[in-house]
Amino acid sequence: METPKVFESEYRFLLILWQEEPINSTTLAKICKEELGWSRTTTYTVIKRLRDRGVVQSENATVTTLVSKETVQTAQMDELMEKTILAMRSWSRFLSSSRARYRTVPPCTR
């Protein structure tokens, strides 16, 4: 199973959850207000989104993670490496095409 994408704000939320779980959703909302500046509804929205993507579960108002911190961090590192490799390939193609263009320009004569 592929690790679901976790965005930066969700990751900050998960850092709290990994430290506090299992935790009552009301208590979690209070912590998120203090640490992240989130409203109660923002916290519940993030819980719902992460639940829908299979990252957390919420049963009887108790929230727990379904994905480990290490798994999320590994997926984030893999994504960063893929982006870096793609950027390097793109940059390499750009440099190759630039060199080819400059080779076809005749030298300046005075």
Note the pLDDT of residue 103: 60
Instruction: Assess contact for 48 and 10: CB atoms under 8 A.
Output: no
Above 90 in pLDDT, residue 83?
no
Q: Which residue has the tokens 């989104």?
A: 49
Q: Which residues contact 51 (CB under 8 A, 6 or more apart)?
A: 57, 58
* pTM higher than the cut 0.85: no
32-61: per-residue pLDDT in tens?
999 999 999 999 999 999 999 999 999 999
Would you list the domain boundaries of the chain? 8-67
Its CATH architecture, for the domain 8-67, is Orthogonal Bundle (1.10)
Check pLDDT > 80 for residue 93: no
Q: How far apart are the first and last CA of the chain?
A: 66
